[in-house]
Amino acid sequence: MDSHSPIDASPVRIPAPDGEIPGYQARPAAGDALPVVLVVHEIFGVHEHIRDVCRRLARQGYFAVAPQLFARVGDVSGIADIQELIKLAAQISDEQVMSDLDATLAWAAGTGQANLSRVAITGFCWGGRIVWLYAAHDPRLKAGAAWYGRLVGQPDPRHPRHPVDVARGLHAPVLGLYGGRDQSIPPDTVERMRAQLAAAGSPSEIVVYPEAGHAFNADYRPNFHPASAADAWQRMLAWFAGTQLKPQS
């Protein structure tokens, strides 16, 4: 498929154990048994940038779906204060997020167009951290791509482990995409993660873009770095294609 391939894209409601959560899906307009990509949003929720990521993946032949993982703390789309968003995000437990992503896959399977033997995950910033955790959670996963997700942190009851703590237990290889000028993710934490992956014999990889800062793929923000974003996107597609996820031509 290519960038001009017709797609179907729409808001969705995803059944979860405690009620429905909103989300957004995009998939090729025709075809079935499609490989699935879970798209995990930034701290800003499922806004237009994340919806566009879903559509771009759909044009490559993937069934992409982004659940609103902050649904239980309200609509964050109108909140501009990053500190308020951080406080809200802190209320969401990793256990809840894993459960909601599981529910999202179950919903996708129920459409009759998704093949859950071909599942990947990608996520950005807050969602980048989740990619690593989900790769240690779901053995069905074939690949992950984590964009500038935090790798270390202090454990707490809602967030007992961080990516560096699960590096030895990944079920699928993860491609980490990071900015060398990212002031929120110190280089030593990236190296700690690399060391843990190497010690585990993991096929996961981390790529650092020296000229890029945090959120370098976010084309609606001043720190968007087009060259790094374009290269990282192609690396992600190649990473997925190198597994059993490659869409049928």
The domain spanning residue 131 has which CATH number? 3.40.50.1820
| Catalytic residue (one of 52, 171, 214, 231) | 214
Q: Which of 2, 62, 7 is nearest to 37 (CA)?
A: 62
Is 28 domain-assigned?
yes
Lowest mean pLDDT segment, chosen from 73-77, 183-187, 231-235: 73-77
Distance CA 9, CA 163 (A): 31
Instruction: Judge whether residue 248 has pLDDT over 60.
Output: no
Instruction: List all residues 6 or more positions away from 43 whose beta carbon is below 8 Å from its beta carbon.
Output: 76, 82, 85, 86, 89, 125, 126
What total of structural domains would you count in the chain? 1
Q: Which of 186, 116, 117 is nearest to 150 (CA)?
A: 186
Q: Is 125 a residue of the active site?
A: yes
Q: Is 138 a residue of the active site?
A: no
Mean pLDDT of 135-164: 97
Burial of 225 per CB tally in 10 Å (0-12, 13-18, 19+): buried
Q: Is 214 a residue of the active site?
A: yes
Q: Using CA of residue 246, residue 247, residue 248, residue 249, what is the dihedral sign? A: negative
Q: Which of 30, 104, 103 is nearest to 66 (CA)?
A: 104
CB 167 within 8 A of CB 197: yes
Is 247 domain-assigned?
no
Is 1 domain-assigned?
no
Domain of 164, in residue numbers: 7-241
| Catalytic residue (one of 41, 125, 138, 225) | 125
Is 187 domain-assigned?
yes
Report pLDDT digits (tens) over 161-217.
999 999 999 999 999 999 999 999 999 999 999 999 999 999 999 999 999 999 999
Report which secondary-structure segment, H or E, holds 193. helix 187-199
Burial of 160 per CB tally in 10 Å (0-12, 13-18, 19+): exposed
